[in-house]
Chain A
Amino acid sequence: MDVEVKERSADDLFKEFKEVSITEFFRKNKAHLGYSGKLRSLTTVIHELVTNSLDACEEAGILPEIEVEIRQIGEEHYRFFERDNGPGIPVGHISNVFAKMLAGTKFHRNVQLRGQQGIGVSGVTMFCQMTTGKPMRIKTSTGDGKVHNVKLMIDITKNNADVIEQSEYSEYWRGTEVEGEVKSVKFNLSDQGPFEYLRRTALANPHAKITFIDPEGRKTGFERSVDVIPKPPESQKPHPKGIEVDDLVNMSKATKASKISSFLVGEFSRMSSAKVKEIQEVIGKEKKEVKGLMVDVYKVDMNWNPRKLTWAQCEEIVKAIEKIKFLAPASEGLQPIDEEHIKKAVLNILDPEFQVVLTRPPKVYSGGIPFQVEVALAYGGHAGRPNETGIRAEVMRFANRSPLLFDTGGCALTEAVKEVDWKRYGVKDFENSPITVFINLISTHIPYTSAGKQTVAYEAEVVKEIKFALMDVGRKFQIFYSRQRREGEKEARRQMLLKYGTELAEGLSKLSNNSPDPKKIYKELIALVEEKIKLANELEMLEDGDEEGGEVPVEEAEAVGEEKEEA
C-alpha cells in the first residue's frame, strides 16, 4: 500500500470535464440521488462534499484533513461548512465542479471507489438552491498564492453557473472551503446522521483526519491512524454487468457519442458491436404508428442519440444487459483498506478491549464480477452503540469504503451478520453486546438493490464469503472472550475462598486440639488456594494449546451445585 503518488496538477485533473444539461433530471430524480427524507438529505450533502474532498486528496497524493461544521440557523434550516487541504480547484473549473451536473471527472471513468452515490457536489448546490434559494460560497486555492472566493448558483435552464460574486486575494494557502445553506433537513446524532457518517468514514479511511463540529458546538476529532495514501483506483471502463439505471442515465447525458451504439461500445469494457446487436435484439420491437401506418420498431433504437435517453429507456437497456453474457471484468481494480490500517483505525476510534480484523482474498460472484471482503470485530471500549437500555451491537456496512447508513433491513451485509450463529462463538446475546462489526465490501460493481445505493443485494457468493470471514473473526473472538470470562470467574472464586478463609481459619483454630494461631492457618490456607489456582491455570494453558486451529467448544461453567456423590 505504500505507493508514492505523484502530485498531479489540478489543471491536469480537470481537463476531463464534460458538459451536459441535467438540472431538470435532478429535480425529477432527487430521491434516487440520496435527497429523500430530512435526515438523509443532510447526510447526503455532507457525504458528497467529503467524498469529493477525499477523492481529490487521494488523486493528488495528499493526506486528507477535512473539517465539517453544521450550524442550525432556524427550524429545519442549517448552514454547513466543509474544508479540506486538497489540491484546490483552478479558478476556471470552479463553476464546472459546483454548478454543472454530470460534469465531474468520475462520470466517464470507472472510478468505483466511494463516489458511486449521487451526482457530486453540483447536486449539493442544486439542493441548497432548491430549498433556500441561496448560492453556495466557495473559497479555493491551488496553492499558487491566489485565493478565489466565488458565490454561485446553477442556471437551471442552461445547466450553467450563475456566478453572483467573484473576488480574489493573495495568500499562500491550499485547499477548498465550501459553505452553504439548506432547509427542510434535520440534524441528529442517530445511526443515519452526519456524525455517524463521518465516524464511519473515518474508520474506513484511516489515512484521513476528520473533524466535526455539530450544531451544539461540540467538536469531535477523528485522528489519522495511518500515513499512507491509498493507491488511486485504476481507471477502468465500467463493466456492463455492474451498471445501474441511474449510472447509465448519468453517463448517457455526459457522452459525446452520437449514437447509443457507439456510446455503449466506447464507455464500457467488454462491449463490442456484436454485443450491442444482442442488446438490440433482447430489447425487441413494439408496434408504433408511423405516418398513419402501424409498424414494428425497436423500443430503444441503438441508433438514437444517447443524450435523449429517458429513465425508462435506460431501464430497458440495463434489463437487456442482465440477460446477456459478457467476459468477466479484470480484478486488478480492487482496493482493500488493508488489515493493518483497519486495525489502527478501529483502535483509534473505538478503542476496544479486543479486536480482530480480516481481509479475505478476492473472489468472484455472478459468474465473474470480482469482489473482496474485509471484516473487523471490536468488543468493549467504545464498540457497540449505547441506547436507553444499555449498549447494543452495531453493524457498520461499507461498500468500497463508503458507509451505508440507510435501508439496513434486507441488505446482504446485515443478513450475513444475522446468519452467523454468534452463540457458537460465546456471544450469548449478540444484539445486546458491546460489539461493533465492520464489513467492507469491495467490488468493481457493488450489487445494489436500488438506485439509492444503500442496500446490497443478496448475492449468495457474497453472503457466503462475508459469513466465512465473520465466522473466522468469531472464532478468534471466542478464544479471547472465553479466556476473559474464565479470568473473571477465577478471580471471583479466589475472592470467595479468601473471604471465607479468615472465618475458616478462626473456626479451625478453636476446633483443633492445640489451637494454633488463626493467622498462621490463614496464611497456609491462602498459599494452598493460590497454588491450586495456579495449577488450574497451567492446566488450562495446556488445554488451550491443544485447541489451536480447531473449533473451540463453548466452555461449560465450572460444575457447581450438588456435592459430589461417593459410594
Chain B
Amino acid sequence: MDRRKEVIARLANMGDELLEEIKKNEVPKMKVPQRGLNNVVFNQKENILELGDKKSTRNFMNVAHTKKFMQSVLIAAKCKELVDRDKTASIRELYYQLKHTIADTKENTFEGQDESDPLIVDLETMLGVLREELHLKADDKGTIIGKITIEDSGDSIDCSKLGRSGLAIPSIVEHYKFKDVKADYVLVIETAAMFDRLVEEKYHVDNNCIMMATKGQAARGIRRLVHRINTELKLPVIVFTDGDPWGYYIYSVLKAGSMALAHESRRLGTPGVQFVGMTMTDIEEYGLDKVTEKLKDVDKKRISELQVYPWFQKKEWKEELQMMSDLGVRLEQQALASKSLEFVAEEYLPEKIKKKKMLP
C-alpha cells in the first residue's frame, strides 16, 4: 500500500514541478530517459541490456514537442486517477479515456494508440515506476500449460487441468503465487501451432516440463513469468523458435531484455535461458534442406542489424547468423513436420535437450 502512495506522490510531484516552472516564468520541460540503441548498454557479465543515462528534454515551447508534452501530462493525470481509485485499465482503455477533440479545433488529443503507448513507457522510465504500478496493463498474450498450480486472487488454477488450451498469461503476473510444481524445465515456444502440436503429442507430460507459447514476440507478462519461474522455482528454461532473425530476437529478448524496456531488464530478462532450435546446423543434421524458405529482403536487413548488436557477439550466434546469411534461407519450426507429425516431440526435442545441443 505504501508503494501506491509513493507512486501517487511521484505523479503529483511531477505536476507540482511543472506548475512551479510556469509560475517562475520558466519554460516547462520534462526530462525523459532516451530509449533506443544509442542509450542501451549491454552488460556482458550479467548478459542483460541496461538503460544508459542519456535523457531528452521535452520542452513545451518547442513546437516539435508541444503536443507530446501535453499528451504526457494527460497520461500522467489519468494514471494518478487510476491509482487513486484503485482501478486498472488496459493501455487501449487509457487511450480511449483520454481521446477527445480539442476545443475549437478538429484535432484530437490523441489520434491513435500508437501516440499514447510510447508515452506510457516514457512515464514509467521518467518516474522510475512499473507499468502495473501505474495501474495499466496490456492485453493477455501467451499461454502456459503443465504441472504448475497458480494462485490468482484467491483462486487456484492447475495448469495441467485446462485441457489443450492452457492458461492465458495476463500482462501482469506480479500477484501470482506458485504451488505444486512438478517439472524439470520450462519450454518456451514461439508459434501457437507448434505449441498445439506438442500439447497433442503430450510432450509436457512425457518429458515432465512446463510449456509456454509466446505467440510472436514475448510480451511483458510472459517475460516476467519466465523470469519468476526461473529465479523463484530454479527451473531451467529452454527456448524453441523459428530459425530466422525474428525467432532469434525473441530468444534474445527473453534472455537479455529489450531495448524499449531496457530499464526493466532485471525484472523481465532471464539470462540463464538456452536455445534449442531451430538452428542452421539442423538443416544438415536432420536433412531439412528441402524444406527451407528463401530469405526475403526484410529478413536479410534484420540479420545485418542483429549482427551488430553487442548482445549477439557470442561466437555461436555469430556463426549462426553468418550461416543463415550465407545459405540465404530460414527454417520454420513446422518444417520438422516434413519428417512426421511426431518427429518434433519424439526425436528432435528429446534428443537435442538430452545431448545438450543448445546455444547459449
* 7 extra A-B contacts, CB within 8 A, seeds A511-B77, A531-B25: A500-B102, A503-B102, A510-B15, A511-B12, A512-B19, A525-B22, A527-B25
Given contacts A516-B19, A524-B23, A525-B22, whether A511 and B11 have CB atoms under 8 Å apart is yes
Residue with the greatest number of chain B CB neighbours at <10 A, chosen from A504, A510, A511, A516: A511
Residues B73 and A507 in contact, CB atoms below 8 Å apart: yes
Given contacts A564-B56, A565-B34, whether A558 and B19 have CB atoms under 8 Å apart is no
- A513 CA / B17 CA spacing, docked (Å): 10
- Nearest Cβ on chain A to B108's Cβ, whole angstroms: 10
Is A192's CB within 8 Å of the partner chain B?
no
**Which chain A residues border B27 with CB–CB below 8 Å?**
528, 532
The one of A525, A528, A567 in contact with B54, judged by C-beta atoms closer than 8 angstroms, is: A567
Is B304's CB within 8 Å of the partner chain A?
no
Is A566's CB within 8 Å of the partner chain B?
yes
Residue with the greatest number of chain A CB neighbours at <10 A, chosen from B12, B32, B54, B59: B12
Q: Determine, out of A4-12, A121-129, A250-258, A491-499, the stretch whose residues face the partner at the interface.
A: A491-499
- A531 CA / B22 CA spacing, docked (Å): 12
> What are the nearest 6 A-B pairs in CB distance?
A511-B15, A512-B15, A507-B73, A510-B77, A563-B56, A511-B77
**Which chain B residues border A513 with CB–CB below 8 Å?**
12-13, 15-16
- A492 CA / B58 CA spacing, docked (Å): 19
Contact residues of A with B, CB < 8 Å? Answer: 492-493, 496-497, 499-500, 502-504, 507-508, 510-513, 516, 521, 524-525, 527-529, 531-532, 558, 560-567
Residues A504 and B73 in contact, CB atoms below 8 Å apart: yes
Residues A500 and B58 in contact, CB atoms below 8 Å apart: no
- Nearest Cβ on chain A to B105's Cβ, whole angstroms: 6
> Which of B81-121 touch A at CB < 8 Å?
81, 102-105, 107, 109
Residues B70 and A564 in contact, CB atoms below 8 Å apart: no
- Nearest Cβ on chain B to A503's Cβ, whole angstroms: 5
Given contacts A564-B59, A565-B56, whether A511 and B64 have CB atoms under 8 Å apart is no
The one of B18, B19, B60, B64 in contact with A563, judged by C-beta atoms closer than 8 angstroms, is: B64
- A45 CA / B38 CA spacing, docked (Å): 75
> Which of B7-43 touch A at CB < 8 Å?
11-16, 18-19, 22-23, 25, 27, 31-32, 34
8 contacts between A and B (CB under 8 A): A500-B66, A510-B77, A511-B11, A511-B18, A516-B19, A560-B63, A563-B58, A566-B55
The one of B15, B55, B107 in contact with A508, judged by C-beta atoms closer than 8 angstroms, is: B15
Is B61's CB within 8 Å of the partner chain A?
yes
- A431 CA / B80 CA spacing, docked (Å): 56
Is B338's CB within 8 Å of the partner chain A?
no
**Which chain A residues border B18 with CB–CB below 8 Å?**
508, 511-512
B105 to chain A: closest residue by CB: A499
- A291 CA / B59 CA spacing, docked (Å): 103
Residues B57 and A566 in contact, CB atoms below 8 Å apart: yes
Residues A511 and B70 in contact, CB atoms below 8 Å apart: no
**Which chain B residues border A502 with CB–CB below 8 Å?**
102-103
Residues A561 and B63 in contact, CB atoms below 8 Å apart: no
Residues A558 and B63 in contact, CB atoms below 8 Å apart: yes
Is B291's CB within 8 Å of the partner chain A?
no
B14 to chain A: closest residue by CB: A511
- Nearest Cβ on chain B to A21's Cβ, whole angstroms: 78
Is B65's CB within 8 Å of the partner chain A?
yes
Is B74's CB within 8 Å of the partner chain A?
yes
Residues B80 and A510 in contact, CB atoms below 8 Å apart: yes
- Nearest Cβ on chain B to A40's Cβ, whole angstroms: 52
Residues B15 and A497 in contact, CB atoms below 8 Å apart: no
Given contacts A502-B103, A566-B54, A566-B56, whether A496 and B63 have CB atoms under 8 Å apart is yes
**Which chain B residues border A516 with CB–CB below 8 Å?**
19
Residues B102 and A499 in contact, CB atoms below 8 Å apart: yes
**Which chain A residues border B107 with CB–CB below 8 Å?**
499
Given contacts A512-B19, A566-B56, whether A507 and B105 have CB atoms under 8 Å apart is no
Residues B80 and A511 in contact, CB atoms below 8 Å apart: yes
**Which chain A residues border B58 with CB–CB below 8 Å?**
563
Residues B66 and A496 in contact, CB atoms below 8 Å apart: yes
- Nearest Cβ on chain A to B5's Cβ, whole angstroms: 13
**Which chain B residues border A529 with CB–CB below 8 Å?**
61
Is B67's CB within 8 Å of the partner chain A?
yes
**Which chain A residues border B70 with CB–CB below 8 Å?**
500, 503-504, 507
- A529 CA / B28 CA spacing, docked (Å): 11
**Which chain A residues border B56 with CB–CB below 8 Å?**
563-566
Is B136's CB within 8 Å of the partner chain A?
no
**Which chain A residues border B12 with CB–CB below 8 Å?**
511-513
Given contacts A497-B66, A561-B64, A564-B57, whether A510 and B81 have CB atoms under 8 Å apart is yes
**Which chain B residues border A512 with CB–CB below 8 Å?**
12, 15-16, 18-19
Is B69's CB within 8 Å of the partner chain A?
yes
A522 to chain B: closest residue by CB: B22
- A563 CA / B58 CA spacing, docked (Å): 7
**Which chain A residues border B187 with CB–CB below 8 Å?**
none
Residues A565 and B54 in contact, CB atoms below 8 Å apart: yes
**Which chain B residues border A527 with CB–CB below 8 Å?**
25
- A561 CA / B80 CA spacing, docked (Å): 30
**Which chain A residues border B67 with CB–CB below 8 Å?**
496, 500
**Which chain A residues border B15 with CB–CB below 8 Å?**
508, 510-513
- Nearest Cβ on chain B to A139's Cβ, whole angstroms: 65
Is B238's CB within 8 Å of the partner chain A?
no
Is B273's CB within 8 Å of the partner chain A?
no
Residues A493 and B105 in contact, CB atoms below 8 Å apart: no
- A567 CA / B12 CA spacing, docked (Å): 26
**Which chain B residues border A564 with CB–CB below 8 Å?**
56-57, 59
Given contacts A529-B61, A567-B54, whether A503 and B74 have CB atoms under 8 Å apart is yes
- Nearest Cβ on chain A to B16's Cβ, whole angstroms: 5
**Which chain B residues border A493 with CB–CB below 8 Å?**
63
Residue with the greatest number of chain B CB neighbours at <10 A, chosen from A502, A516, A529, A565: A565
- A501 CA / B21 CA spacing, docked (Å): 15
Is B48's CB within 8 Å of the partner chain A?
no
A529 to chain B: closest residue by CB: B61
Residue with the greatest number of chain B CB neighbours at <10 A, chosen from A496, A525, A564: A564
Is B210's CB within 8 Å of the partner chain A?
no
Residues A507 and B31 in contact, CB atoms below 8 Å apart: no
- Nearest Cβ on chain A to B217's Cβ, whole angstroms: 26
- A499 CA / B27 CA spacing, docked (Å): 17
**Which chain A residues border B69 with CB–CB below 8 Å?**
500, 504
**Which chain B residues border A499 with CB–CB below 8 Å?**
102, 104-105, 107
B16 to chain A: closest residue by CB: A512
